[in-house]
Amino acid sequence: MRSSLETQNHNQNTQEIDLAPLLDVVFILLIFFIVTTVFVKETGVEIDKPTAVSSQDLQKNVFLLAITTDGKVMYGGTNIGISGVRSTLTQIAAKETRPLIIQADKKVTTEVLIKVMDQAKLAGIRDINIATAAGQ
């Protein structure tokens, strides 16, 4: 009889920490940070940007277009061409107005760059920037 009483007292004195609520809180925080993170949509191509001393950082919530050395205009990894710039930007700018950043390769001709900028202006984009690499 005595041994069962000692076992019962020992079980009552031993305290365990329940980790389930802690894990729930950690997972909720993880989900919160994943949902609230701003994802920057890349253009899907590698661009050799020109350098500029007066470069400055812009906000992350922007539209990105890339112009490759062979004159392809890329949006979201798809070649939309110069003729697709206006319709694409009109559709996405109707939902939300954001600045446009054009990532043009440094070997792109000025004519192609101006055509893309004209199409963006015709689509209603007023804030157009050209991406550069920071210079010394």
Closest CA to 43 of 80, 8, 6: 80
Q: Which helix (H) or strand (E) holds 136?
A: none
Alpha carbon distance 68, 51 (integer Å):
16
Looking at this protein, which amino acid is placed at residue 80? I
Hey, what CATH topology would domain 51-134 get?
Answer: Nucleotidyltransferase; domain 5 (3.30.420)
Alpha carbon distance 82, 26 (integer Å):
47
The domain ranges of the chain are: 51-134
pTM above 0.85, yes or no: no
Tens-binned pLDDT, residue by residue, of the chain (136 aa): 455 555 555 555 677 888 888 889 999 999 888 887 766 566 666 666 666 665 566 566 788 899 998 889 998 888 999 999 999 999 888 888 888 889 888 888 989 999 999 999 999 988 898 887 776 5
Per-residue confidence (pLDDT) for residue 119, from 0 to 100: 93
Question: Per the structure block, which two tokens stand in for 85?
Answer: 């710039």
